[in-house]
Amino acid sequence: MGEHHRGHPGPIVTARGRLPRTFFDDDPLEIAPRLLNKVLVVGGRSLRLVEVEAYRGTDDPASHAHRGPTPRTEVMFGPPGHLYVYLSYGIHWCTNIVCGPDGVAGAVLLRAGIPLTGIEAQRLARPAARRDVDLANGPGKLTQALGIDDRHGGIDLCHPDSPVVLVDDGTPPPDRPDVGPRVGISAAIDLPWRFSNPGDPHRSRPR
C-alpha cells in the first residue's frame, strides 16, 4: 500500500516509534482503548498491552485520586506521560500511565500484556508463572515481569532517557475492544471503563 491520499484527512495514525506526550494529554477514558496493542519496553523486556482500565480523579469514586492529591497520588495530578506505580495489597506493584492535562487527575492502569522480547528475563522475574501466558496476564504480574517497582514511580515515559518506554510498532488498537466493568473495585462498579483485546488469552482472569 502507498502513502495516504493527498487532500483527504485519512485515518488518524500514530507514527511508529515512541509515543509523544500529546498522546496522553486527553481523558483517560479516551486514551485507554488507544493504548491497546501499544508496546511497553523496559530494557530488553517488552510486551504488547492487551488490557487496560481508565481511572479519573475527584469525580471517580474508584480512583486513588478521588479524595484529592496525597503524597501517593500526587503524580496523577501532574502532567501526562508519567508513571503512577502503587503497592497493591501490600504485596504487588501495579503500573499506571498518567493521562489528561496537568492539574487534572487521571491515569490508565496497565492490566495485561503479551510478552514479546526478553521472555527469558520475564520468566526469571516471574518464577510462579508455569506457562508463558501467565507471565503478564494481570496488573501485578505485568509489573513484575518487566521489573517495574517503586523506583519507577513518577518517571517520565516521554523523557529521552526514560528507562521505560511506550512504542507504537504499527499494530493498531482493535476496532471493537471488549468493554466491561473495572476489576477489584467496590465503588462505581458499573462503569464500563475496562478495555481489552477481544478473545486474547493473555487478558487477566477476573475473580
Partner DNA sequence: CCGCCGATCTTT
Partner DNA sequence: AAGATCGGCGGG
- The contact set with DNA (CB under 7 A) reads 53, 55, 62-65, 67, 70-73, 76, 84, 86-92, 94, 96, 107, 109, 126, 128-129, 134, 138-142, 182-186, 204, 207
Cβ-based nearer residue to DNA, 76 or 166: 76
**Could you count the other beta carbons within 10 Å of the beta carbon of residue 124?**
11
Note every long-range contact of 66-74, with CB atoms under 8 Å and residues 24 or more positions apart, other chains counting.
66/187, 69/105, 73/105
CB of residue 157 vs DNA: minimum separation in angstroms? Answer: 16
CA nearest neighbour of 85 among 77, 76, 94: 94
Q: Which is nearer to DNA, 11 or 35 (CB)?
A: 35
Nearest distance in Å: CB 26, DNA: 17
Start-to-end Cα distance in the chain: 44
Rounded CA separation 154/27 (Å): 19
Nearer to DNA, 134 or 156 (CB): 134
- Measured CA to CA, the distance from residue 207 to residue 184 in angstroms comes to 8
Nearer to DNA, 38 or 194 (CB): 194
Closest distance between DNA and the C-beta of residue 23, in Å? 19
